[in-house]
Amino acid sequence: MAHLPWKAALAAVAFTGPAMADCMGASGPCVIASGTYNIKLPDHNNAKTPIVIFLHGYGGSGKTTLRNKRIAGPILKRGYALIAPNAIKRKDARASSWNFHPDFNRGRDEAAFFKAVIDDAVNKFNLDPKNVLLAGFSIGGSMASYIACNNPAEFTAFAPVSGSFWRPHPTSCKTPIKLFHTHGWADKVVPLEGRKINKNFVQGDVFYALDLWRKTNSCTQPRPEKISTKGAFMRRKWESCVLGSTLEFALFSGGHTVPKGWANMILNWYEQLPDQTVQN
């Protein structure tokens, strides 16, 4: 799953700008049985194209994700297809949201939906199903975290930003993974420690999540082996973990947002991942 043979190929491919996929001539988003997704493709020379799937936040949409220059610009420029699935709005809800928490399962099987999105996009647009980075913002970041924990098999790596687990926290995850979590120090919408939304929903603790990821990856030390304070991000990286797994955490000074420079930081990390398959 984690082999990345396209790294060398990307360097030899000339990209001239992003192209909007038309879903084989159909207007609007791509439609499958379980939902819809939006997609933009880079211009390329018919090479197998790696994929970034980005999950929008509460009340967002795939369409607005593709319009976000901080997200779409760097991803497309560097030769990735950007897929932005759409969450569903329930009848009793104010806005669209992901069915993210296993203890409050109401509606669509999101793991099955994302697999169907990948299968459909690969078939329609000749993309590489073995090189898929799953990212997401806010509730989308939470959704990406739960997929990483419970249903990671379809993805190479995970990059939640400003969103993580909710209470009650999961107590274990399925298998070692490659994950990079990014969060704002001043985030008041999804604080690092979490907050109560209502009597049923309480956001989780990012530091608990990091501890769970360390246990999942069998890291021998609670502390990170590498710490960096250069630039806009304060980064911590754990290296004494099971072969093939990766865990990194970055803080930025701002609030609840996808910060400037996030996409390039994550793609740099992704392209430098170890090629060996995760060992269980």
DSSP structure string for 115-130: HHHHHHHHHHH-EEEE
pLDDT confidence bin for 94, thresholds 50/70/90: confident
Q: Are 214 and 222 in contact (CB under 8 A)?
A: yes
Give yes or no for residue 62 having a pLDDT over 50.
yes
pTM: 0.90
Q: Where are the domains of the chain?
A: 6-271
For position 184, what pLDDT does the model report?
A: 98
For position 274, what pLDDT does the model report?
A: 77
Give yes or no for residue 28 having a pLDDT over 90.
no
What's the pLDDT tens digit per position in 173-199? 999 999 999 999 999 999 999 999 988
Residue matched to tokens 């009650």: 168
* Crossing angle for the helix pair 139-150 and 206-216, to the nearest 10 degrees: 20
Which neighbouring-strand residues pair with 19? 41
Question: Among 246, 238, 249, 255, which Cα is nearest to 277's?
Answer: 246
In angstroms, what CA-CA distances link 37 with 56, 66, 120? 11, 11, 10
Q: Which distant-in-sequence residues (6+ apart) come within 8 Å of 82 by Cβ?
A: 18, 39, 40, 52, 54, 65, 66, 71, 72, 75, 76
What's the pLDDT tens digit per position in 248-258? 999 999 999 99
In angstroms, what CA-CA distances link 51 with 22, 73, 81, 110, 114? 17, 14, 5, 18, 13
CATH H-level superfamily of 6-271: Alpha/Beta hydrolase fold, catalytic domain (3.40.50.1820)
